[in-house]
Structure 1
């Protein structure tokens, strides 16, 4: 397993179509490597915080062996979007000049439907554990943020995770809290192997691996609307938050197990 994640940088060359399902209005776009991507904009509602959560959540999932589309940095040139006719989209593109985030577009993928598809208990437990770690509120029956592609389950859209960073108040205390919203997780009923997964994942997510993932966050994103004196101080708070939660993972594992038993 590669403990030194790296992200490629691509240049966006064509805006294909908006994806209006989400409030942040991502888009399908083509890059200079001739691949299509789901482009997440820094100028959207939650700004760079959603991109940071997307980056950290996605790369943690990948490190744990879960399927996530390739994440890349996507650069928007100043000239990009000048011919866009939709005023709302043009404003979004203007506000997103520079470095954005994008995920490889899984052409032909099918949205996971919990009423149709079943997930084995080990995989369900792994996904539930990850989402409890990163406090991901967005993997519910209403919006599963999972896709079936080439007969495998892929995880997408982690931008709503790590919601502690929207206020930064008492972040040390929040790192120790159970994740109560895990009771709404679409895979919780199948997550019967959380203890085994907890032991495995704690051994994988070393301090060094956490540091390597948060080191991917661009400095520019960390100095935008930041309460910290430097990008490095800001980055270290993300790292410490994750390390603290992992060190005390029994808190969120017990919460998930209790929530599952309450709904049996």
Structure 2
């Protein structure tokens, strides 16, 4: 197993926003993913009665709320390094608890080997190219024989989707150049999981439906807007302002029937009953 300490991407430990608008974007993103995937827990995952489940980087907590309805007997633990976007505990079902945990730190002993299922989503802009140290944390959280589900973006195959091929998209093309080809580790998560001790790792690609193309396109621009704001706050003002200028034009291109489309990858793997 990998034992080194994982490090966040330099200068972008969390380049998205934490305000109410960012929370709204996360909530929209959640509902779009739910509509596209059609499941919270992948159908390949077999859980015991009353499972103990962890959601890493739980954000606004909506996925936990979904799972609490789908599996009422589950004990659900949401972990994040910042819980300011999550609901107050008084607004959550009794089977959900939220806890601060910086996943670049060691796993708290009380949670080692505790979970029947661990879920992770959208750490593509937080983790470095070498995700193995973080994966070792996930491995440690799981019971022997338990499952991991990891949902990510496939930035390598990001494209510009058009309702009509003749639609001009100069701003979207510029944004595409900035992001395409980065974060390529997500399309090899299954290979990395094998190297880190997991078994039965499988990777599934899921694209955008035309019916949700506009909604995803606008949500993508919202995320890029947050990144640009983070760049400005961190001293990269010229680059951030350039992106903000492109966003205004890109929104107009969205309205004409074009948009950035980023496929999703869903990886399911299992911790062996006996460590190799």
TM-score, with length taken from structure 1:
0.34
Greater relative contact order (Cα < 8 A, sep 6+): 2
TM superposition score normalised by structure 2: 0.33
Greater percentage in strand = 2
